[in-house]
A = this chain, B = another copy of it.
Amino acid sequence: MAERVAGPEIERLIQLLARLPGLGPRSARRAALHLVRKREELLGPLAEAMRVARERIVTCETCGNIDTTQPCSVCADARRDPATLVIVETVADLWALERSGAVSGRYHVLGGVLSPLDGVGPGELNLDALPGRIAAEGVREVIIAVNATVDGQTTAHYVTDLVAPTGVKVTRLAHGVPVGGELDYLDEGTLAAALRQRTAF
């Protein structure tokens, strides 16, 4: 075993690296060796960046985003339109939408999707505060931007029912042909949706 060779310190580093998504035991070993080879340029700065992240990054109590401020910089941004609230599954989805630059409103991060098989019910998601938030912030449109998966769509229906009493308008992302996509490679469901929701040219 590697621990006989390089001691428990590096073995522990490998084990922890192997718990990152996308790294298995073999690639964690490669990553650890790479880190040790680049001690000054990479290992030191990364250890420090992790220490800082651990100390300073908090989950926004308003929307569920992560940031170093409370509330997060999205919630605190006065230029954002308070009338639009975008519901996303994860912080990664929030970042993806921010990269698109197409969202002028704020977000609400659910922290997952309803999944009875995995034991994820409404109580596990960031849902309780949602109706109150809609009322308090004067939201007029809720855009449901969850993944187009079965669990995502189940969650979308649940959110729709949950916010119905507030009388707010509920919309969801369009289905259609991805920009740059080729029709020949798309599934029938996407093509049918793209046809149904065709727009004037």
- A residues sitting closer than 8 Å to B (CB atoms) are 1-2, 4-7, 9-10, 12-13, 16-17, 19-23, 27, 29-36, 39, 42-47, 49-54, 56-57, 65-69, 72-74, 90-92, 94-95, 98-99
B9 near A53: Cβ-Cβ < 8 Å: yes
Cβ of A101 to closest chain B Cβ, rounded Å: 9
Main secondary structure, interface of A, reads helix
A27-B21, A49-B12, A91-B33 given as contacts; is B5 within 8 A of A98 (CB)?
A: yes
Residue of B nearest to A23 (CB): B22
Q: Jot down 9 A-B pairs with beta carbons below 8 A, ordered by A.
A: A2-B98, A2-B99, A5-B65, A6-B73, A17-B46, A20-B42, A29-B92, A44-B54, A47-B47
Shortest distance between the CB of A6 and any CB in chain B (Å): 5
Tell me which residues across on chain B come within 8 A of A46, comparing CB atoms.
13, 16-17, 50
* Contact A50:B47 (CB < 8 A) given known A20-B35, A99-B2: yes
B54/A39 in contact, CB under 8 A: yes
Evaluate whether A35 and B50 lie within 8 angstroms (CB atoms) in the complex, with A22-B23, A23-B22, A99-B1 already known.
yes
* A36/B57 contact (C-beta < 8 A), A5-B74, A9-B49, A12-B49 known: yes
